[in-house]
Structure 1
Amino acid sequence: MSPLHITALHGEGLSCRRGFKLLFEHLNFEARPGRALLVLGPNGAGKSSLLRIISGYLSPTSGRIRLDGGDEERLFREQIHYLGHDDAVKGALRVAENLDFWRRILGPNGLGVEEALEQVGLGGLGRLRASVLSAGQKRRLAIARLLVSRRPIWVLDEPTTALDVKAQAWFASFGRAHLAEGGLIIAATHAPLDLGETDELRLGGKL
């Protein structure tokens, strides 16, 4: 599946209420291939909730997500990589086994397991139990999921959390390559991501 199938992703009239708190309402945005859309705002503004709505893990109180283009033979969620706060690493499994599991679940149409581990700086660690990895290494392992399965839309929640400067640079290079191929990135972040030209969507303030 080529990322070039995607022409735009729209949020139309989105509102989100969690319990008694209204996080945002009447929210509209457009994200296009080749540019990253950065979701900005203070803690509690609804950034993570918005990303989960986009990814299909949370239903909006009102409004909808609309995709222009894409692969008509795949469900919308099958065209998205969602990387949340939780690295989803199983400590009892070996590093390579974790990545191979996700490669099989998400679709083995990207890099092989060993090549992806090399790309994220975990080469030679595949036989280790994932439980011994540091927080930064677990985040690298989570990012490797983006490489083993090609999906056109990346939805990322603070993707560089726990990464050192070198790993942040690696991540930025992966993101720029994805955008250059016509992919689409929507990312909530407090830190610069160095993805080239970007658009911004700001949450927060009086609603």
Structure 2
Amino acid sequence: MSPALALEDLAVERGGRRLLHGLNLTLMPGQAAVLTGPNGAGKTSLLRTIAGLQRPAAGRVRCQPDAIAYAGHADGVKSALTVSENLRFWAAVFGGDQIAPALAAMDLSALGDRLAGRLSAGQRRRLGLARLAVTGRPVWVLDEPTVSLDSRSADLFRAMLAAHLAGGGAAIIATHLDLGIEALRLELSEFAAPRDAAPLSGFDAAFA
């Protein structure tokens, strides 16, 4: 069985400064990893690198093409569309057309006709997370997914994540909450680059 995601001797930079180096991780289908470490350790920068939003400073991220669905701090929600229209839009982007399971998973079925701009912060976050379920992508890259969620909504997300893993998906998550799943722990302080590590030249360095 091939890995769902592999990080190979990965190094990560932000603003021209090396944050992490020598990071290796292999996730098989059905596995999850939780990132731990203090604020500023590089969790968000690592997740953005895995998702392809910035280049690795060294090493590589290995997975199947178009395997990753990313959920960051922004919800990716269009305020002028209804809840259902948002999900139909994202389903079409990823080549699908079924949104009912996603609506049900995050308890949004009764809000399907409501404009996203009229949702509460928690409802909007639930909609952003429901988007994961319509992508059909096997690797979820999640940055603090339970922000703005109350305990009941966090439980809904835990159930959706557990179902994703049980179906052979994988996930790598930055979170301060116990998600109630078996997961590898990746302590980023173990991969912290020396403070005087020389950055590579590149786009980020121009804006340091």
Q: TM-score band (shorter)?
A: 0.7 to 0.9
Q: 1:119 aligned to 2:115? A: no
Q: 1:152 aligned to 2:138? A: yes
Q: Provide TM-score, normalisation by structure 2.
A: 0.85
Partners of 1:6 and 1:152 within 8 A in 2: no
| Equivalent residue in structure 2 for 1:29, among 6, 25, 30 | 25
Q: Name structure 2 gaps, 5 residues minimum.
A: 194-208
| Equivalent residue in structure 2 for 1:129, among 106, 115, 124 | 115
The aligned counterpart of 1:107 is 95
Q: Provide TM-score, normalisation by structure 1.
A: 0.86
Partners of 1:37 and 1:200 within 8 A in 2: yes
Report the residue type matching 1:103 in the other structure.
A
1:88-134 deviation line (CA, Å, top 9, x unaligned): 1111122211111111012216xx32442232111221221111111
> SS where residue 204 of structure 1 aligns?
helix
Q: After alignment, is 13-22 or 131-140 more displaced?
A: 13-22
Q: What CA distance in whole angstroms lies between the structure 1 residues aligned with 2:114 and 2:19?
A: 41
> SS where residue 21 of structure 2 aligns?
strand
Count of residue pairs the alignment pairs up: 192
Partners of 1:114 and 1:126 within 8 A in 2: no
Q: Name structure 1 gaps, 5 residues minimum.
A: 71-75
Report the residue type matching 1:96 in the other structure.
S
Percent sequence identity is 46
Q: CA offset at residue 175 of structure 1?
A: 1.1
| Equivalent residue in structure 2 for 1:12, among 5, 8, 27 | 8
Runs of 4+ more than 6 Å apart: none
Partners of 2:29 and 2:169 within 8 A in 1: yes
Q: What CA distance in whole angstroms lies between the structure 2 residues aligned with 1:175 and 1:6?
A: 21
Q: 1:175 aligned to 2:161? A: yes
Q: 1:92 aligned to 2:49? A: no
Q: CA offset at residue 6 of structure 1?
A: 4.9
The aligned counterpart of 2:37 is 41
